[in-house]
Amino acid sequence: MINATAEASAAQEFDSVVALHRAQIFRFLLASTRDVDLAETLTQDCFLKAHRNWASFRGESSVLTWLMRIAINLHKDHWRNRRLQFWRQTRTNAVDLDEASDWLPSGERTAEQRMLAKEQVAQMWVAVENLSERQRTVFLLRYVEELDLKEIADVTGMGEGTVKAHLSRALARVRKELGEKK
């Protein structure tokens, strides 16, 4: 009876973790992959892996940090495995740039302003895609997930100084590609 009660309590606790963090993990993976189906699959894999290892979670970091670490590793593993394939079918499942910009809140009113916003989103994604993997990860964690530098360091396993350096380089490169001045 005690075992069943403990298991039910652990299941409820994990359900609340999923409810609390699922959207953020999915958003990060969607921003990283730009593929809705892949992001959904990786999100499910992340929580499946977390569920399997829930009993061994030591609490040395926040649950979100632990989940982000799992998500980043799954993303890396996926692309490492994809590189071994000859044909890539990203275009068939990829998020359309126009569609992605429609998801973003916009106070723009005119068709011209909406089109300009879509073009800016497209340019931003191109700039982000051209970043190195580490720079892109740090950039997305900071500006999409709004994690602070310490959280990013915890999630990625990098030191805060390294995170700052990658973020600084990423910002400089994105600004340069977008034609913005410091």
Is residue 99's pLDDT more than 70?
Answer: no
pLDDT tens profile 8-43: 777 788 889 999 999 999 999 999 888 899 999 999
Q: Which two tokens stand for residue 85?
A: 């394939």
pLDDT band at 104 (very low <50, low <70, confident <90, very high): low
- What is d(CA 17, CA 23) in angstroms, rounded to the nearest whole number? 11
Please say whether the beta carbons of 69 and 157 come within 8 A. Answer: yes
The mean pLDDT value of the chain amounts to 81
- Structural domains for the chain: 1-95 (1.10.1740.10)
Q: Which of 61-65, 70-74, 112-116 has the lowest mean pLDDT?
A: 112-116
Is residue 47's pLDDT more than 50?
Answer: yes
pTM above 0.85, yes or no: no
- What is d(CA 152, CA 150) in angstroms, rounded to the nearest whole number? 5
For 43, other C-beta atoms within 10 Å of its C-beta total 24
Predicted confidence at residue 100, as pLDDT, reads 56
- What is d(CA 121, CA 74) in angstroms, rounded to the nearest whole number? 26
pLDDT band at 102 (very low <50, low <70, confident <90, very high): low
pLDDT band at 6 (very low <50, low <70, confident <90, very high): low
Is residue 96's pLDDT more than 80?
Answer: no
